[in-house]
Amino acid sequence: MRIAAVIVAAGSGIRAGGEIPKQYVTVGGRSIVQRSIDAFASIEGVSEIRAVIHPGAGSLYAAALSGTGPALGAPVVGGKSRQASVLAGLEALAASEPDYILIHDAARPFVSGAVIDRVLDALKIHPGAIPALPVADTLKRDGGDGTICETVSRDGLWRAQTPQGFRFRDILDAHRRAAAAGRDDFTDDAAIAEWAGLRVSLVDGEPQNVKITTAEDVAEARSRFEVAMMLEPRIGTGFDVHRFTQGSGVWLCGVEIPHTHKLEGHSDADVALHALTDALLGTIGDGDIGQHFPPSDPQWKGAASHLFLADAARRVRARGGKIANVDITILAEAPRIGPHRAAMQARVAEILAIARDRVGVKATTMEELGAIGRREGIVAMANALVLFPFSPKDLS
């Protein structure tokens, strides 16, 4: 049995506040559209998933994807209405012609596998099936003047959710006929199926399968989700040493400090930023600075080391990491660090895009002991603490 899913993400969604349409907003470390895609990618038998996006939203969509499985095909550009967008998604699947199709609003990222399974089970019997919840509130009709003219019976009334499942051929034909008949006002696919005379069964939906429409919905989803999500702290350490050579200043923490010597190295030899880069890479087990920026590569000759640090921060953030704090200790007899500490702290905060009080810069001499004490070079050590999204299943 071949099952495909269409994820309808074509809304411009400006209601959710802010400039980014709601389906591209991040909730609990993943975008809403990614969560919706993931819900289907994990269902057995789902072999193809296509997202339908707003014209011109290609780069927003690509940026919102944090990981894609083999089932996810290229996005399809939607039409003027939800109905037209779904039809575009179905047409994109026409060539591969799956047996069943699940049509899901990207704005319902919390759909459970149990709901999807119930819809698929019902499709063995009926041409269509949707999850729905009984209406619990008493319904009133107003008379147009702000007062009630009628209490409407809620008997037999249901609130429709998605995914709405159909036999693929049936719903494609129904959509094509509706479009040919000039109808563009259907607000869900079950309505088109009903119009086409298909029987659509109701299965139990779930209250948490909410549609995220407003900025309040986004905030509520985040707070609800963040309670359920744990943050995993991870620590990285870094160490580096560079020797002095002839020169007139040293780079430390991205700040140039006048001195009787400079530090020897292939790049600008900023020993502190090198140690910190390694500390950040350590939190994601992603090698070290020499692996990503080999000294043998001529393009890094004389390079400013903030490039290395910014790259490590990007790698950490690509995995959902939030840099909680970094702490640097510099071991040097000279130059004196104290007068430059505030500038160094500010520069590191700027490179990492974090607050200054999350950056520690400390220095000590070696009491004239050893190589550093003999003023042969400078050592730097760094720690980084990064918080990552985490769920208990990550442990397995």
Give dist(CA 335, CA 355) in Å, integer: 26
Residue 353 tokens, joined? 């895009």
Q: Is the distance from CB of 210 to CB of 218 less than 8 angstroms?
A: no
* C-beta closer to Mg ion: residue 274 or 347: 274
Stretch that binds Mg ion, among 165-173, 210-218, 272-280, 308-316 (CB under 5 A): 272-280
- To Mg ion, the closest distance from the beta carbon of 56 in angstroms equals 44
- To Mg ion, the closest distance from the beta carbon of 271 in angstroms equals 6
Interface residue with Mg ion among 82, 262, 274, 341 (CB under 5 A) is: 274
Which residue is associated with the tokens 């008997």? 155
Give dist(CA 327, CA 337) in Å, integer: 15
- To Mg ion, the closest distance from the beta carbon of 276 in angstroms equals 11
Query: If binding is defined by CB under 5 A, does position 240 make contact with Mg ion?
Result: yes
Query: If binding is defined by CB under 5 A, does position 341 make contact with Mg ion?
Result: no
Number of residues that bind Mg ion (CB under 5 A): 2
Angle at which helix 341-352 crosses helix 306-318, to 10 degrees, equals 40
* C-beta closer to Mg ion: residue 82 or 306: 306
* C-beta closer to Mg ion: residue 188 or 270: 270
Query: If binding is defined by CB under 5 A, does position 48 make contact with Mg ion?
Result: no
* C-beta closer to Mg ion: residue 189 or 240: 240
Stretch that binds Mg ion, among 117-125, 164-172, 236-244, 247-255 (CB under 5 A): 236-244
Q: Is the distance from CB of 187 to CB of 91 less than 8 angstroms?
A: no
Give dist(CA 263, CA 193) in Å, integer: 73
For the chain, how many residues are written?
396
3-state SS, one letter per residue, for 67-136: CCCCCECCCEECCCCHHHHHHHHHHHHCCCCCCEEEEEECCCCCCCHHHHHHHHHHHCCCCEEEEEEECC
Among all residues, whose Cβ is closest to Mg ion?
274
- To Mg ion, the closest distance from the beta carbon of 294 in angstroms equals 12
Q: Can you give the binding site for Mg ion, defined by CB under 5 A?
A: 240, 274
